[in-house]
Amino acid sequence: MQLQNAISQRISQALHALFGITVDASQIALQPTRKEFAGSFTFVTFPYTKQVGKGPEQIGQALGEYLREHAAEVKDFNVVKGFLNLEVQESEWLRLFKGIMEDPTYGYGEPSDRNVMVEYSSPNTNKPLHLGHLRNNFLGYSVAEILKANGHRVMKVNLVNDRGIHICKSMLAYEKLGHDETPETSGLKGDHLVGKYYVLFDRAYKEQIDALVEQGMDKEEAKKKAPWMLEAQEMLLKWEQGDPHVVNLWKTMNTWVYAGFDETYRTIGVDFDKYYYESETYTLGKARVEEGLEKGVFFKKENGSVWVDLTGEGLDEKLLLRADGTSVYITQDLGTAELKYNDFPYDQSVYVVADEQNYHFQVLKATLKKLGKPYADGIFHLSYGMVDLPSGKMKSREGTVVDADELVQEMVDTARQQTEELGKIEGFTEEQAQELYHTLAMGALKYFLLKVDPKKRMLFNPQESIDFRGNTGPFVQYTHARISAILRKAGEMGIKYDPAAFENFENLHEAEQEVITQLVNFPAVVKEAGNLYAPSIIANYAYELAKAYNRFYQEISIFNETDEQARSFRIALSAMVARFVRESMKLLGIQVPERM
């Protein structure tokens, strides 16, 4: 960015000197030069033809000649129609490279006074995490790390959906069919055991609906009148009233689930600064509903249910409290938003939730504004698309969910198979090999899910994700391992590669310049990814950096180079690529191996 700013300043001066027009340097946009043309930066001259009174190529030619003579950064130029392509002096690239080497915080923003809370994961305590949860967890964790890299104060939180009718469904099925089964007696992780009973409830419930339909009842009516649904609703009411038996069963089953979740979180490498539980927030939400009634911004219907009218905001009327006094999702969200703000007065509260809930968050923000809450404007829904497998969309109630734990294990098994076939574990102990398989599996999984723009629905292909070629996590990880081997060899040979070791080096190869260009771009990439909440920008940067390095590695000799300064520079260049591959992947929550 410093180089681009300097060149923009030079172009501003040139426009004034040559044509007498004043254009602020901040308004001069430079773009990377297309690969088929010589140059690093391109300036588009078309917008200036009217002011200058000349054709775009004439303007480009005049500017190019001026910059070549007066701008120390510019080595040469070429003009293609209205595009002025500028080549940068080798000495400038080397100056920038040395600056990067000497700046341990290069690319990271200055500390800001901005507080950002990122809420992600948000599991239900009636089933295990699935593939969709993985995209959610990886996205939330990465966005939080990217925002930290931009200098913001960040708190990572998890709102656990531990109450409601869906929880009661698992509880009711367990009460009727469980026979005191536990994770220990069943050999199942706690979240898997409870999820088993959620599926059993759904099967029994469907059978009851079918039976009522056969007796002549309308299907929609049968869904409401099925015996187990009525019992689950009664159980929810008893829970809210504090019935000791129901509450104890709820606590026992949730404890099993939390232990299962914690194990999964450790395995996939995500964490949280604080947990919130809907069971602890919904009562505060009810208080906010009462407040809205008192203020006259909410209203009651004849059956006693409470609503908010958002038709003026382009939405519609929204239920806030059922007629029987039980809360709905938005009720507890009103309470949680306040709790979160009290704990961490945020400028922005980011909710990482699938795009199926787009409307819900519009309603939440509008409702908080109706209540006059100071934190309403800070509500931001980071919406993401669903994840499909080649077999189709996941459906948890039918028991065909793509289980997160099973998928992770499948990825580890695939990583083992691929790695053994490629012979990349020679000299590894069994423990080191297992660690490598897990590192590659998580790198493949996270990278594949994060390299796609969050808003896009995506198809996850496990086999494709773990390929060591192409835009994949393992390709980037392998590049880091390759460089680590080069640095180890340099250390064994006693080769120094600090800036003093190549003080007088010049004659940069085009492939070396391309790598430096990628390194120079790191701050802009981190900033853009933070502004757009888009880990995909970081992922694709890591790939482009690794790709540029592999081109350099194939075209230019390192250890066979007879010029000591050139050799030291190339090892230093390799070290910086390893550093920024490592930093980029860290922002995605991905580890990189030292050897393979």
Mean pLDDT of 360-389: 94
Mean pLDDT of 381-398: 69
Mean pLDDT of 401-414: 89
Q: Where are the alpha helices (DSSP H) in 105-215?
A: 131-149, 165-177, 183-186, 190-214
| 490 SS3 class | helix
Q: How many CB atoms lie within 10 A of CB 411?
A: 22
Mean pLDDT of 258-284: 94
pLDDT of residue 440: 96
Is the pLDDT confidence value at 457 over 80?
yes
Q: Find where tokens 């995909």 sit.
A: 536
CATH of domain 1-88: 3.30.1360.70
Mean pLDDT of 578-590: 98
- When mean pLDDT is compared across 217-226, 265-274, 393-402, the lowest value belongs to 393-402
Q: pLDDT by residue (tens digit) across 11-55?
A: 999 999 999 999 999 899 888 888 888 888 999 999 999 999 999
Res. 467 pLDDT band, cuts 50 70 90: confident
Is the pLDDT confidence value at 188 over 80?
yes
pLDDT of residue 396: 40
Pick from 126, 119, 139, 43: nearest CA to 87: 43
| Fold adopted by 418-588 | Isoleucyl-tRNA Synthetase; Domain 1 (1.10.730)
| 171 and 393 Cβ atoms separated by less than 8 Å | no
Q: pLDDT by residue (tens digit) across 94-125?
A: 999 999 999 999 999 999 999 999 999 999 99
| 468 SS3 class | coil
The residue extents of the domains of the chain are 1-88, 418-588
CA–CA separation, 438 and 361 (whole Å): 36
Sort strands 115-119 and 153-160 into parallel, antiparallel or unpaired: parallel
Pick from 401, 405, 432: nearest CA to 416: 432
Pick from 522, 579, 516, 541: nearest CA to 149: 522
CA–CA separation, 485 and 473 (whole Å): 19
Mean pLDDT of 180-198: 96
From residue 348, alpha-carbon distances to 70, 344, 355, 374, 524 in Å are 46, 10, 19, 11, 22
Is the pLDDT confidence value at 397 over 70?
no
Mean pLDDT of 136-148: 98
Is the pLDDT confidence value at 400 over 70?
no
- 236: buried, middle or exposed (CB in 10 Å: 19+, 13-18, 0-12)? buried
Ramachandran bin of 470, using left for φ above 0, alpha for ψ from -120 to 50, beta for the remaining angles: left
pLDDT of residue 425: 79
- Which has more pLDDT, 281 or 69? 69
Mean pLDDT of 461-489: 92
Is the pLDDT confidence value at 489 over 90?
yes
Is the pLDDT confidence value at 394 over 60?
no
pLDDT of residue 326: 78
Q: pLDDT by residue (tens digit) across 423-454?
A: 777 788 999 999 999 999 999 999 999 999 98
| 588 and 541 Cβ atoms separated by less than 8 Å | no
Q: pLDDT by residue (tens digit) across 49-99?
A: 999 999 999 999 999 999 999 998 999 999 999 999 999 988 899 999 999
- pLDDT, the chain, mean: 93
Mean pLDDT of 471-497: 95
pLDDT of residue 309: 96
Sign, CA torsion 198/202/203/207: positive
Phi and psi at residue 241, in whole multiples of 5°? -85, -5
Q: Side chain identity at 232, as an amino acid letter?
A: A
pLDDT of residue 391: 64
Phi and psi at residue 341, in whole multiples of 5°? -65, -40
- Which has more pLDDT, 372 or 326? 372
Q: pLDDT by residue (tens digit) across 231-267?
A: 999 999 999 899 999 999 999 999 999 999 999 999 9
Neighbouring-strand partners of residue 74? 88
CA–CA separation, 138 and 420 (whole Å): 27
Res. 401 pLDDT band, cuts 50 70 90: low
Mean pLDDT of 291-295: 95
pTM score over 0.85: yes
The answer to whether 1-88 and 418-588 have equal CATH topology is no
